[in-house]
Chain A
Amino acid sequence: MSTAFEKSARTRWLALSPTYLIIGIFMMIPLCIMIGISFMEQNVYGGVHPNVSFAAYQQILFETDFDENLVFDPSYLVIIGRSLLLAGIATVVTVLVGFPVAYYIARQNERRRNLLIFLVTLPFWTNMLIRIFAWLLILGRGGVIDAPLRFLGVLDADGSLGLLYSPGAVVLGLTYTYLPLMVLPIYASLEKLDFRLVEAAADLYSNKWGAIRHVVIPLTGPGIAAGAILVFIPCMGDFITVDMLGGAKNLMLGTLVQFQFSTARNWPFGSAVAAILLIFVICNMLLYARFTRAERQRSGS
Chain B
Amino acid sequence: MSAPRKTKAKGAGNVAHFKSLYVLVGFFYAFLYFPIIVLVAYSFNTGTRAMVWKGFGIDWYVKVFTNGAILDAAKNSLLVGLIATILATTIATAGALALARGGAFRGKGVSMGVMTLPLIVPEIVTAVATLMFFSAIGLNLGLGNLIIAHTVFCIPFAFMPIRARLEGMDTYMEQAACDLYATEWQAFRYITLPMMMPGIIAGATLSFVISLDDFIISLMVSSAGTTTLPVYIYSMIRNGISPEVNAISTVLFGVSLALVTIYWIASKPRK
Residues of A close to B6: CB separation below 8 A: 109
**A107 on the interface (CB 8 Å rule)?**
yes
Residues of A close to B264: CB separation below 8 A: 111, 115
Residues of B close to A9: CB separation below 8 A: 105
Q: Is the CB of A108 within 8 A of B15?
A: no
Q: Is the CB of A12 within 8 A of B98?
A: yes
Greatest chain B CB density within 10 A among A121, A185, A227 is at A185
Q: Is the CB of B152 within 8 A of A136?
A: no
Write the chain B residue with the least CB distance to A203: B15
The dominant DSSP class at the B interface is helix
Contact with A along B241-255 (1 / 0, CB 8 A): 100011011101101
Write the chain A residue with the least CB distance to B37: A134
- Which B residues from 152 to 180 make CB contacts under 8 A with A? 152, 155-157, 160-165, 167-169, 171, 174-175, 178
Contacts A12-B102, A176-B31 given; indicate if A26 touches B10 (C-beta within 8 A).
no
Residues of A close to B260: CB separation below 8 A: 115, 118-119, 122
The dominant DSSP class at the A interface is helix
Residues of B close to A29: CB separation below 8 A: 133
**A230 on the interface (CB 8 Å rule)?**
yes
Residues of B close to A6: CB separation below 8 A: 101-103
Q: Is the CB of B152 within 8 A of A222?
A: no
Contact with B along A14-57 (1 / 0, CB 8 A): 01101110111011111101100100000000000000000000
- Which B residues from 1 to 29 make CB contacts under 8 A with A? 5-6, 8-13, 15-18, 21-22, 24-25, 28-29
Q: For residue B225, give the distance in angstroms from its CB to the closest CB of chain A.
A: 21
Write the chain B residue with the least CB distance to A134: B35
Q: Which of A60-68, A74-82, A152-160, A190-198 contacts B (4 or more CB under 8 A)?
A: A190-198
Q: Count the A residues whose beta carbon is within 8 Å of the partner chain — how many?
A: 114
- Which A residues from 166 to 187 make CB contacts under 8 A with B? 176, 179-181, 184-187
Contact with A along B82-106 (1 / 0, CB 8 A): 0000010011101101110111010
Q: Tally A-B pairs: CB < 8 A.
A: 337
Q: Is the CB of B252 within 8 A of A126?
A: yes
A180 to B195: give the CA distance in the assembly, Å.
Answer: 21
Residues of B close to A227: CB separation below 8 A: 160, 164
**B129 on the interface (CB 8 Å rule)?**
yes
Residues of B close to A285: CB separation below 8 A: 112-113, 116
Write the chain A residue with the least CB distance to B255: A125
Q: Is the CB of A282 within 8 A of B35?
A: no
Among all A-B residue pairs, the 3 with the closest Cβ atoms: A30-B129, A195-B12, A134-B35
A-B CB contact pairs (8 Å), 5 listed? A27-B121, A107-B12, A124-B213, A195-B16, A278-B120
Known: A125-B256, A195-B16, A257-B125. 14 other contacts (CB 8 A): A26-B149, A31-B121, A104-B25, A114-B267, A117-B201, A125-B249, A133-B50, A185-B164, A187-B202, A188-B161, A198-B15, A199-B16, A233-B119, A237-B123
Binding site for B on A (CB under 8 A): 1-6, 9, 11-13, 15-16, 18-20, 22-24, 26-31, 33-34, 37, 97, 100-101, 103-109, 111-112, 114-115, 117-131, 133-138, 140, 144, 176, 179-181, 184-189, 191-192, 194-196, 198-199, 202-203, 208, 211, 219, 222-223, 225-227, 229-230, 233-234, 237, 240, 253-254, 257-258, 261, 267, 270-271, 273-274, 277-278, 281-282, 285-286, 289
Binding site for A on B (CB under 8 A): 5-6, 8-13, 15-18, 21-22, 24-25, 28-29, 31-36, 38-39, 42, 50-51, 87, 90-92, 94-95, 97-99, 101-103, 105, 109, 111-126, 128-130, 132-133, 148-149, 151-152, 155-157, 160-165, 167-169, 171, 174-175, 178, 184, 188, 195, 198-199, 201-203, 205-206, 209, 212-213, 215, 229-230, 233-234, 241, 245-246, 248-250, 252-253, 255-257, 260, 263-264, 267-269
